[in-house]
Amino acid sequence: MYDSIVIGAGIAGITAARQLAEKGNQKVLVIEKREHIGGNCYDRLDDYGILIHEYGPHIFHTNMEDVFSYLSEFTEWYLYENGHQVVADVNGKLIPVPFNLNTLHMVYEKELADTLEKKLVQAYGSGSRVGIMELRQNKDPQIQAIAQYVYENVFLKYTMKQWGQTPEEIDPQVTGRVPVLISYDNRYFQDKYQGVPLHGFTGMFERMLDHENITLLTGTDAGKLLEFGDSQIRYEGKVFEGCVIYTGELDRLFGLKYGRLPYRSLRFELEHLAQEDFQNGHSVVNYTVSEDFTRITEFQYLTGQKDTSGTTIVREYPFAYSGAEGEIPYYAIMNPENEKLYQKYKKLAERYPNLHLLGRLAEYRYYNMDAMTKKALELAEKLL
């Protein structure tokens, strides 16, 4: 039988499964309810032969050498020479995001921009990163004016669309992901490695799961095979004493006993266009002051695919997750109230000594792929 069971074949579950199978020589069963592997990082060719990211644009970026070298065992990379770059459409004008000194010089005339640049450098230091909420607290009226511009033109409407709340109402760590940069750096991320697997995320995951000790079951909800009793987990009716790694929503594991953990979801609207280019070479354009969608991604520029005919784009429309059939919980809404509810579920999970919670859903956190990989590697190491 199996030594371990992993629920969910996203990047977290796959990494953990591979490590247990390879380093621990364990027989691992991976159960995935979707018909495919990869979780939200899944990519595939569309009807026009264009590689698309089914659940929104995924750019791998990291400063962690160990994570990069680990995943590199399973894939080559298409690394972005100039990093991943994003622009915001502000009333038809495209400006670099994160807001940086290039942006400053685009939105203010030269003399004023020079003065403002000096002030920013003096206040925060050249090369620094300042969260918009922090910048807004600066007492200098001129810096306040910049902060107000960035707040209104980059953050307010986009955040309202994405979260249904203002930047003040959400966790500052969320807007802090896109700080104001006191440098001439147009890159969206400042990480050393930025790109996508050369043959797609799904290709990389297939190689990770391709191990004699791993059995994969897709299209199967773990609830069909596993039962969570008072303090024991049963697999097909028998007590299972091996490790169970759970990467799904924690509230669902316990039948929503204390109520639903809130999430934001997205509707992706794909469109194929019979034209060579749609965004003039930009892979991602954020709509920060207009439209109901948050951003448009043009896949050929994200993946570097050259043999395309026509182009495929996707628009992202956020909405509140209701738990209805087919909806996917993409983003945990981090605030003290939700954290309290999460902790109640976590207490229930602690009744099972062999149950381990891992992943963006099970941990109710806003993890990027690299952080997720790191956590999975650490968990596997701890278990072995």
Residues that bind ligand UDP (CB under 6 A): 88, 97, 154-155, 158-159, 162-163, 174-175, 177-178, 286, 288
Let me know how many helices (H) and strands (E) the chain has, helices first: 13, 22
CB atoms within 10 A of CB 367: 18
Q: Which class for 254: exposed (0-12), middle (13-18), buried (19 or more C-beta within 10 A)?
A: middle
Reading the block at residue 381, the tokens are 């190491």
Residue 372, interface with ligand FAD (CB under 6 A)?
yes
Residue 33, interface with ligand FAD (CB under 6 A)?
yes
The SS3 assignment for 309 reads: coil
Minimum distance, C-beta of residue 141 to ligand UDP, in the bound complex (Å)? 24
Q: Which window, 33-41, 109-117, 161-169, 291-299, contacts ligand FAD (CB under 6 A)?
A: 33-41
C-beta of 155 vs 205, nearer to ligand FAD: 205
Among 185, 221, 327, 339, contact with ligand FAD (rule: CB under 6 A) = 221
C-beta of 121 vs 334, nearer to ligand UDP: 334
Reading the block at residue 354, the tokens are 């062999």
CB atoms within 10 A of CB 337: 9
Contacts of 137 (CB under 8 A, 6+ apart): none
Q: Are 247 and 5 contacting, i.e. CB atoms less than 8 angstroms apart? A: no
Contact mark string toward ligand FAD, 304..343, x via CB under 6 A: --------------------------x-------------
Among 5, 21, 43, 58, contact with ligand FAD (rule: CB under 6 A) = 58
88 binds, among ligand FAD, ligand UDP, none (CB under 5 to 8 A by kind): ligand UDP
CB atoms within 10 A of CB 266: 22
C-alpha distances (whole Å) from 188 to each of 70, 98, 99, 220, 246 are 24, 6, 10, 37, 32
Q: Which window, 36-44, 123-131, 317-325, 342-350, contacts ligand FAD (CB under 6 A)?
A: 36-44
End-to-end CA distance of the chain: 18
Among 174, 284, 357, 361, contact with ligand FAD (rule: CB under 6 A) = 361
175 binds, among ligand UDP, ligand FAD, none (CB under 5 to 8 A by kind): ligand UDP
The amino acid at 37:
I
158 binds, among ligand FAD, ligand UDP, none (CB under 5 to 8 A by kind): ligand UDP
Among 4, 19, 20, 34, contact with ligand FAD (rule: CB under 6 A) = 34
Minimum distance, C-beta of residue 87 to ligand UDP, in the bound complex (Å)? 9
Rounded Cα distance, 196 and 122, in Å: 37
C-beta of 20 vs 170, nearer to ligand UDP: 170
Residue 196, interface with ligand FAD (CB under 6 A)?
no
* Of 108, 89, 188, 190, nearest in space to 148 by CA: 108
- Alpha helices by DSSP H, listed for 72-140, are 101-107, 110-124, 132-135
Footprint on this chain of ligand FAD (rule: CB under 6 A): 7-13, 31-34, 39-41, 55-60, 221-223, 247-248, 266, 330, 359-361, 367-370, 372
